[in-house]
Amino acid sequence: MKIIGLSGSLSAPSRTRGLVEAVIGEITRQTGFGGGVIDIAELAHAQLRGADLIVIGVPVYKASYPGAFKHFVDLIDPKALEGKAAILVATGGSEQHALILEHQLRALASYLGLYSAPKTVFARDTDFADYRLANPAIAERVAFVAGQAAWLLRAPAARTLAAAA
């Protein structure tokens, strides 16, 4: 099983990337499956196509995901990722826009045919120290979501669809 993180931030360094890395690290710890993280700027479609599970992370920009991230998604063949599993995470200045995960990112994931885990992770800027996740409560949530990722990776329906896509 190959796991690829997709960070939708344009910043470097990036808290969003830090959060995606934390989720990947926890999935690796729980499952033994490894992988890397790519930034949207890399436009690495090929790596995404080879993934079984994609951890999608975005920063909130003006109450939505960044336009550049949407542009990246617009460039993907709508069928290319069908049947793969996904974990959805986001960062923001405050919790006020946490529901973009449910109202916007999950809708986009569904359009792409991704099987997104029911739990998501939202982290505020104050949950980070030096761009690394530093809030134990969020780390606990990350561990829980990683458990759902492990379950999705074992789900035969998702794997069969991914193989057929």
Ligand X SMILES: Cc1cc2nc3c(=O)[nH]c(=O)nc-3n(C[C@H](O)[C@H](O)[C@H](O)COP(=O)(O)O)c2cc1C
CB of 13 to ligand X, least distance (A): 7
CB closer to ligand X out of 17 and 84: 17
Give 148: exposed, middle or buried? Use CB within 10 Å, 0-12, 13-18, 19+: middle
Stretch that binds ligand X, among 32-40, 88-96, 113-121, 143-151 (CB under 6 A): 88-96
C-alpha–C-alpha distance, residues 9 and 93, integer Å: 14
Stretch that binds ligand X, among 34-42, 56-64, 73-81, 139-147 (CB under 6 A): 56-64
42, 77, 102, 125: residue in contact with ligand X (rule CB under 6 A)? 125
Stretch that binds ligand X, among 6-14, 41-49, 109-117, 150-158 (CB under 6 A): 6-14
Letter for the amino acid at 60?
V
R_g of the chain, CA atoms, integer Å: 14
41, 93, 126, 160: residue in contact with ligand X (rule CB under 6 A)? 93
SS3 per residue for 60-119? CECCECCHHHHHHHHCCCCCCCCCCEEEEEEEECCHHHCCHHHHHHHHHHHHCCCEECCC
CB closer to ligand X out of 35 and 59: 59
Under DSSP, is residue 132 helix (H, G, I), strand (E, B) or coil?
strand
Interface with ligand X (CB under 6 A): 9, 11, 14-16, 59-63, 91-94, 96-97, 125
